[in-house]
Chain A
Amino acid sequence: TQLLEQSPQFLSIQEGENLTVYCNSSSVFSSLQWYRQEPGEGPVLLVTVVTGGEVKKLKRLTFQFGDARKDSSLHITAAQPGDTGLYLCAGHTLYNFNKFYFGSGTKLNVKP
């Protein structure tokens, strides 16, 4: 089991649809980050949420950090084929600042 569990694991949708990806843990995190990974590449940072309840928007992407800082969500509005990729949440827990954990990943495929 991973410290950060993501759901769903796979998501295949049509262009223009909306979707939400969830990242959950039983541990409290000092902050959570979302990364996107393309095939054959390393993950690249999309956003960091720091404060419980915080909402951040990045164009069509909306990120939320849970009030208790144990979970986060990523919502994509009007998905496009260019959104296709592996989405990963990641963060440092409060009890061990130095370890940087990644979630189990959500593989998104947006069909034209």
Chain B
Amino acid sequence: NAGVTQTPKFRILKIGQSMTLQCTQDMNHNYMYWYRQDPGMGLKLIYYSVGAGITDKGEVPNGYNVSRSTTEDFPLRLELAAPSQTSVYFCASSYSSKGNTEAFFGQGTRLTVV
């Protein structure tokens, strides 16, 4: 049971570099989300998608981009990395947005920008 898979698990970037965080799910979920979590804090929504070809901004979208070309994949792109983007990034998916639907999470990507 793969569930939600994120790669890489760890990454160190230099300021100004770019990278793509990969996220794939094998549960045929329509809804996918990207969050960032700073140490000891809650999760802040970066972007979300309600299905292939549809994405929208969350609470903290600046500095990030996403695409959703397939149901399975939801990559997060950082174009010009900044120290403020040092964080742990979580991808999640759910079957629907109805309240009693569980969100499943990947293991996270720990990103450090130096």
Contacts and interface: CB of A to CB of B under 8 A. Distances in A.
A29 B97 CA distance: 12
Contacts of A2: 42, 44, 59
A99 B42 contact: no
Given A42-B106, A92-B99, A98 B43 contact: no
B42 A98 contact: no
A86 B41 CA distance: 9
Interface residues of A, number: 33
B33 interface: yes
Interface string B17-40: 000000000000001010100001
* A interface, over-half SS: strand
Contact of A104 (B41, B59, B98): B41
B79 interface: no
B92 A98 contact: no
Contacts of A6: 42
A67 to B, nearest CB: 16
A101 B105 CA distance: 14
Interface in B72-114: 90, 92, 94, 97-100, 102-103, 105-108
Interface residues of B, number: 28
B92 A42 contact: yes
Contact of A45 (B41, B97, B102): B102
Contacts of B90: 42-43
Nearest to B33: A100
Contacts of B33: 100
B99 A42 contact: no
Interface in A88-111: 88, 90-92, 97-105, 107
Given A48-B99, A104-B42, A105-B42, 15 more contacts: A3-B59, A29-B99, A32-B99, A42-B108, A43-B43, A43-B103, A45-B102, A50-B99, A50-B100, A88-B42, A88-B43, A97-B97, A98-B97, A102-B42, A103-B42
Interface of B: 4, 31, 33, 35, 40-45, 48, 50, 56, 58-59, 90, 92, 94, 97-100, 102-103, 105-108
